[in-house]
Amino acid sequence: DGGITQSPKYLFRKEGQNVTLSCEQNLNHDAMYWYRQDPGQGLRLIYYSQIVNDFQKGDIAEGYSVSREKKESFPLTVTSAQKNPTAFYLCASSIHLFGTGSSYEQYFGPGTRLTVT
């Protein structure tokens, strides 16, 4: 079965702790993305990666970090510097990054709900 997996589904952390969210895909996609979704809000882009060992900040990268050492994996670390980390985090992938002349559908994982107290 091809797809994107995220783990864990629910995650609880104490304030001040860093936490890493896992995202793995076996679709052989080049591009991967991390989004954050708050209640009643749309998806906000945190980081994205076009290829291995390369990634770019999205609209709300402050307090987050990523790595892309393997094509299949794009973990997200929520650091203690993130002021409001409690949210629903979604990982996605597409064959390539959006282009000016082409569009690629995104495949989303099931999400990780992070609660920080």
Partner 1 sequence: SQKIEQNSEALNIQEGKTATLTCNYTNYSPAYLQWYRQDPGRGPVFLLLIRENEKEKRKERLKVTFDTTLKQSLFHITASQPADSATYLCARGRASGGSYIPTFGRGTSLIVHP
Q: Measured between alpha carbons, how far is 13 from 116 in angstroms, rounded to an integer?
A: 5
The only residue of 11, 27, 45, 61 in contact with partner 1, by rule CB under 8 A: 45
Three-state SS letters, 64-80 = EEECCCECCECCEEECC
Q: Return the number of the residue (2 or 99) whose C-beta is nearest partner 1.
A: 99
* Minimum distance from residue 100 beta carbon to partner 1 (Å): 6
Task: Decide whether 17 or 50 has the Cβ nearer to partner 1.
Answer: 50
41 near partner 1, judged by CB under 8 A: yes
C-alpha pair distances (Å), 49 with each of 11, 27, 82, 115:
24, 15, 20, 25
Given candidates 24, 32, 33, 114, which one binds partner 1 under the rule CB under 8 A? 33
2 forms part of the interface with partner 1 (CB under 8 A): no
Alpha-carbon span 73 to 54, nearest angstrom: 12
Whether 86 and 33 have beta carbons less than 8 Å apart is answered as no
Q: Is 115 in the site for partner 1 (CB under 8 A)?
A: no
Q: Does 75 contact partner 1 by CB under 8 A?
A: no
63 touches partner 1 (CB under 8 A): no
